[in-house]
Structure 1
Amino acid sequence: MPFTPTPEQQEFATAVREFARRECGTRERRQDLTSGGAGPHSPELYAKLAALGWLGVCLPEEYGGGGGGMTEACLFLEECSLGQIPAGGFVTSVITAKAYERFGSEAQRKTAVGGAVSGQVLSIAMSEPEAGSDVAALRCAAVRGEDGGWTVDGHKTWISNAHLASHILLVARTSSTGSKHEGLTMFHLPADTPGVEIRGIETMGGREVNDVYLTDVKLPADAVVGEVGEGWSQLMAGLNAERLFLAANMLGLTRRIFEDTVAYVRTREQFGRPVGSFQALRHRLADLATELECARLLVFDTAAACDAEPERLFPREASMAKLKTTELAKQAALEGMQMMGGYGYATEYDMERYLRTAVVSTVYGGTSEIQRDIIGKTYGL
């Protein structure tokens, strides 16, 4: 049965859409909020989202959240991207908070989950220079001392929003025996801990990702999140949320790209008529509209399945959703740029920024190649 939001869900989505129109509905306003587009996050607007209670939409009520599910989170992410709300810290924050919700101690949940609800940004540090898609090959080491505490040394890279984060969920190696998937442990790391150095990596998208250097970082025994040596299985348990949240984010971007492209080709005239009236462009847009509808059904069908069985993993469906939406966002941005001609390439319009955002989405959170590999393995291949 096609996804149909409940009246409450529809009311929520409409409220987010109205917020976007009111608070950042013009390009000039978005530029002001992000220091001229230097990054995708506005602390000013993020604080307003927190005050409305929306940042905790899918987090437990006992920590100040809204108690909703994956469907509500996906609706929020879709509308944020559609409305171009500069809340770039939300995705990593909610992904990280869900890991704390599942595996953290009560004190860690109060700090991290409660912090995410109140507007603090969270980050998760897995990737390393030699451990990207093969994240289990990480070498950042945490050594236990005689007092039960830990000393951490290593280098993490491509860490989204670490420069904004109050806390980082760090994945480190606590044992080198057994397979590479064994001996990984999650740690609760306050970003201002002595020995932590965060350096930004300049990208086409502005300031989003970072190198994180850890030098003789001291953590107490109770910094472990979950169980020592169980970091890999704990990571796998959170992949439904990560991939689905990224998919919903790109679904909203694709809708934004499509709507902007349609608006442009309706008004841009060549040869005495709107360029959208030419069959070549009309058919392209018809194909994109069809693919967009398919992608939305896939995302929300997967979200509904996760809500119905929250303890079950949906690796095939979550990877399909991430693969479909990110590749479609990239395709839509390229099509939009082509249909806008030179204006699609000009910074005067948003299309070139959409393309930069869409292209990297097929890399982070597991590349498209990794998603295809996961899907294939679910068929025993």
Structure 2
Amino acid sequence: MPIELTDEQQAFVAAIRDFCARECGTRAQRDALTNDGADPHSEQLNRQLAELGWLGVAFREENGGLGGSTVDMCLFLEETQRGLAPISGIGPTWIVGAAFEKFGTPAQRQAVIGGIVEGRSQAIAMSEPEAGSDVGALACRAERVDGGWRINGQKTWISNGPWCHHILLVARSDAGGAKHEGLTMFDVEVPTDGVEIRPIRTMGGKEQADVYFTDAFLPDDAVVGQVDGAWTQLMAGLNTERLILGAMMLGRAQRAFDDTLAYVKQRKQFGRPIGSFQALKHRLADMALELECARLLTYDVAQRVDADPTGMLARESSMVKLKTTELAKHVALEGMQMMGGYGYATEYDMERHVRDTVVSTIYGGTSEIQRDIIGKTLGL
């Protein structure tokens, strides 16, 4: 590991690895949990993790969590992804939970974070048909009415939408100012009248959804944080969001590498293991190097967040997200190439690695957006 783990953290990592090996260590087990791979998230396995208390590692004790550090959070995410635990919903769920921990009322934290700790998934709704990377362009409207707010509009590409219990909605509450002003966060319980969720079929499964709001009423106490203050609140959560996504893809990149390495050691052509040929050996050496660099970067930033939880690490967190997701995609594609036809076959995990990693460079801020952010911090 790139950091010196405490005895407790080492035991935590060992316990996660043992759990994954025991509960989802074989393809047959994972298929049974995911409807033969069609569902990327298993509520059953998620509840088992909740019973162990691990889903609370990212949250404070007063909110029902374990009070773990950011490093602890990253360890859990890396190890569960490396172990192929089918809990794809954990990333958006913890991102939502972090927002409620910072800005939610006690009642909201009890409902949302309490639900997470018990194994329920949550979703965040920002993207719209005409507002993806440009979040400030969103048009879903929140209009003040007697006793609350009326919501109208559409959200799209909402991760966890098909199975979430709460949606953290970002809507335009005031259209009179600059585009990053007049945005408000709302807690939307599922189901709510006037809210329709339609799953989107993708190459990764049915984890995305369109969400339609048609005169949906939300009471005043559904506001999360400050009215018209969502942009500032979103910016305050970027460190955590990018570390969550980065740690997950770090784990998946490591698993794709592990699977590739195991294959090239046992697959023989021309009388010897294909991994002994320089063309493959050097590519694996480069990937091992890049994995170590990505791990060092990820945990360095996690330690910085632990040292100063209120600090803004826009450049560093964007680097984590960019490096880990691009690396995961690269390793998975290289693994497929080295495995040949077997890497393309659904009998093996490599094709799933490809499907799950390619999209990681899109969600949570595309690689192009991350590079733009990093460039701005350089004065460009």
Cα distance in 2 between the residues matched to 1:254 and 1:318: 18
Asked if the contact 1:295/1:321 (under 8 Å) is kept, the reply is yes
Cα distance in 2 between the residues matched to 1:64 and 1:227: 24
1:40 matched to which residue of 2?
40
Within 5 Å, give how 1:61-140 maps onto structure 2. Answer: 61-140=61-140
Asked if the contact 1:89/1:164 (under 8 Å) is kept, the reply is no
Aligned length: 380
Cα distance in 2 between the residues matched to 1:285 and 1:121: 36
1:156 matched to which residue of 2?
155
2:367 matched to which residue of 1?
368
Superposition deviation, residue 74 in structure 1? 0.4
* The 10-residue stretch of structure 1 (249-258 or 1-10) with the greater mean CA deviation from structure 2: 1-10
1:340 matched to which residue of 2?
339
Asked if the contact 1:70/1:303 (under 8 Å) is kept, the reply is yes
Q: What secondary structure, in the 3-state scheme, does the structure 2 residue paired with 1:163 have?
A: helix
Superposition deviation, residue 325 in structure 1? 0.5
Superposition deviation, residue 70 in structure 1? 1.0
Q: What secondary structure, in the 3-state scheme, does the structure 2 residue paired with 1:310 have?
A: coil
Q: Which amino acid aligns with 1:138?
A: L
Q: Which amino acid aligns with 1:29?
A: Q
Q: Which amino acid aligns with 2:302?
A: A
Q: Cα RMSD over matched residues? A: 0.9
- Where in structure 2 are there 5+ consecutive unaligned residues? none
2:246 matched to which residue of 1?
247
Superposition deviation, residue 219 in structure 1? 0.6
Q: Which amino acid aligns with 1:212?
A: V
User: Per the alignment, do residues 2 and 340 of structure 1 end up closer, same or farther by CA in structure 2, a change over 3 Å counting?
Assistant: closer
Asked if the contact 1:91/1:245 (under 8 Å) is kept, the reply is yes
2:267 matched to which residue of 1?
268
Q: What secondary structure, in the 3-state scheme, does the structure 1 residue paired with 2:362 have?
A: coil
Q: What secondary structure, in the 3-state scheme, does the structure 2 residue paired with 1:208 have?
A: strand
Task: Work out whether 1:191 is the aligned partner of 2:156.
Answer: no
Cα distance in 2 between the residues matched to 1:313 and 1:191: 32
Superposition deviation, residue 120 in structure 1? 1.0
- Where in structure 1 are there 5+ consecutive unaligned residues? none
Within 5 Å, give how 1:309-320 maps onto structure 2. Answer: 309-320=308-319
Q: Which amino acid aligns with 2:36?
A: G
Cα distance in 1 between the residues matched to 2:74 and 2:83: 14
Cα distance in 2 between the residues matched to 1:239 and 1:371: 11
Q: Which amino acid aligns with 1:282?
A: K
Cα distance in 1 between the residues matched to 2:147 and 2:183: 17
Cα distance in 2 between the residues matched to 1:290 and 1:103: 39
2:177 matched to which residue of 1?
178
Cα distance in 2 between the residues matched to 1:59 and 1:2: 24
Deviations 1:118-150 (A, max 9, x none): 1111110000000000011000001001x2310
Task: Work out whether 1:355 is the aligned partner of 2:363.
Answer: no
Asked if the contact 1:82/1:253 (under 8 Å) is kept, the reply is yes
Superposition deviation, residue 2 in structure 1? 4.4
Superposition deviation, residue 63 in structure 1? 2.1
Asked if the contact 2:194/2:214 (under 8 Å) is kept, the reply is yes
**Identity over aligned pairs, percent:** 63
1:54 matched to which residue of 2?
54
Task: Work out whether 1:292 is the aligned partner of 2:294.
Answer: no
Superposition deviation, residue 10 in structure 1? 1.2
Q: Which amino acid aligns with 1:200?
A: P
Asked if the contact 2:16/2:80 (under 8 Å) is kept, the reply is yes
Cα distance in 1 between the residues matched to 2:64 and 2:235: 26
1:201 matched to which residue of 2?
200
Deviations 1:313-339 (A, max 9, x none): 111110000000000011101111111
1:3 matched to which residue of 2?
3
Superposition deviation, residue 4 in structure 1? 2.0
Deviations 1:248-299 (A, max 9, x none): 0000001000000010000000001110111111111000000000000000
Q: Which amino acid aligns with 1:302?
A: V
2:224 matched to which residue of 1?
225
Asked if the contact 1:74/1:244 (under 8 Å) is kept, the reply is yes
* The 10-residue stretch of structure 1 (254-263 or 87-96) with the greater mean CA deviation from structure 2: 87-96
Deviations 1:187-221 (A, max 9, x none): 01001001110001100001111000010100111
Q: Which amino acid aligns with 1:378?
A: T
1:28 matched to which residue of 2?
28
Cα distance in 1 between the residues matched to 2:318 and 2:190: 30
Task: Work out whether 1:304 is the aligned partner of 2:342.
Answer: no
Superposition deviation, residue 308 in structure 1? 0.4
Task: Work out whether 1:12 is the aligned partner of 2:12.
Answer: yes
Q: What secondary structure, in the 3-state scheme, does the structure 2 residue paired with 1:159 have?
A: coil
Q: Which amino acid aligns with 1:196?
A: V
Asked if the contact 2:2/2:295 (under 8 Å) is kept, the reply is no
Cα distance in 2 between the residues matched to 1:261 and 1:114: 39
Q: What secondary structure, in the 3-state scheme, does the structure 1 residue paired with 2:154 have?
A: strand
Q: What secondary structure, in the 3-state scheme, does the structure 1 residue paired with 2:213 have?
A: strand
Q: What secondary structure, in the 3-state scheme, does the structure 2 residue paired with 1:212 have?
A: strand
Cα distance in 2 between the residues matched to 1:342 and 1:89: 30
Cα distance in 1 between the residues matched to 2:294 and 2:302: 12
TM-score for both structures, normalised by structure 2? 0.99
Cα distance in 2 between the residues matched to 1:53 and 1:114: 12
Q: What secondary structure, in the 3-state scheme, does the structure 1 residue paired with 2:310 have?
A: coil
Q: Which amino acid aligns with 1:229?
A: D
Deviations 1:141-188 (A, max 9, x none): 01001x231000000000000111111000000000111000000001
Q: Which amino acid aligns with 2:180?
A: H
TM-score for both structures, normalised by structure 1? 0.99
Q: Which amino acid aligns with 1:150?
A: W
